[in-house]
Amino acid sequence: MTELTKLMKRRRSIRKYLKDKMVPEDILQKITNAAFYAPSAANMHGFEIVVVVNQDLKKKIREICEKGEQSWVFAQPENVKESILSLPNFSFQKSFLEEAPILLIVSTDQNNPKIPYAVESCWLSIAYMLLEIENNELGSLTYTPSICLTDKRDELNKIVNLPDSEYIQAILPIGYYENRPEPKELKNIKKKRIHRNKFIKNIEEE
């Protein structure tokens, strides 16, 4: 197995981080550099990354995200609400936002016609950062704050001075693994999702 495949399998989303082990600055720099190595429409790299290390800010971010997620979930139709609440690992508690030594807030000005494919490009950069995080023996989670799906998303932006034109795509907590989960295994679902020349709907999946 190649180094890359090992990294991809080893990288797991985690919610518990070693609280007192800080991420060295040079590693943090490698991680944010990775975002700029990713391809990007028209080579724009039209995203912003706010590196949050301040403990008071992290606490506020946690509070807003927890409150925002509750409001959002309970405003969903019954079936959506049920499916969210039944997700494994789901919790309204976002302790990782306060406990991880670093939060990377990644945003993009998604309605700006000067930045083509802003969201898509931003997520390529997020993937690159996730792999660079793992590459440095650190763990993360691709946290998408529900408040950003609502008309209160400016509350989260304000905490870190992001203008309203910036849409927060994800918050990546970064820290050392407290426990390492098993590496990822391929799911059976794969067979149903890969098609040869023509798409064929797999009826077993219905």
- Segment holding 172, helix H or strand E: strand 167-176
Given 66, 69, 109, 166, the residue binding a second copy (CB under 8 A): 166
Whether 68 and 150 have beta carbons less than 8 Å apart is answered as yes
Q: Is 185 exposed, middle or buried (0-12, 13-18, 19+ CB in 10 A)?
A: exposed
Toward a second copy, which CB reaches closer, 13 or 95? 13
Burial class of residue 64 (count of CB atoms within 10 Å of its CB; 0-12, 13-18, 19+): buried
What's the angle, vertex CA 86, arms to CA 188 and CA 67, rounded to 5?
Answer: 130
Q: How many residues bind a second copy (CB under 8 A)?
A: 69
Per-residue binding string, a second copy, 76-105, x by CB under 8 A, is ----x--x---x------------------
Asked if residue 109 binds a second copy (CB under 8 A), the reply is: no
Full 3-state SS string of 11-47: CCECCCECCCCCCCHHHHHHHHHHHHHCCCHHHCCCE
From residue 49 to residue 68, the character string flagging contacts with a second copy as x (rule: CB under 8 A) and all else as - is xxxxxx--x-----------
Question: Which of 95, 110, 127, 178 is close enough to bind a second copy by CB under 8 A?
Answer: 127
Q: Which residues contact a second copy by CB under 8 A? A: 2-5, 7-9, 11, 13, 30, 32-34, 36-39, 41-42, 45, 47-54, 57, 80, 83, 87, 113-114, 117, 119-120, 123-124, 126-128, 130-132, 135, 142, 144, 160-163, 166, 169-170, 184, 186-187, 189-190, 193-201
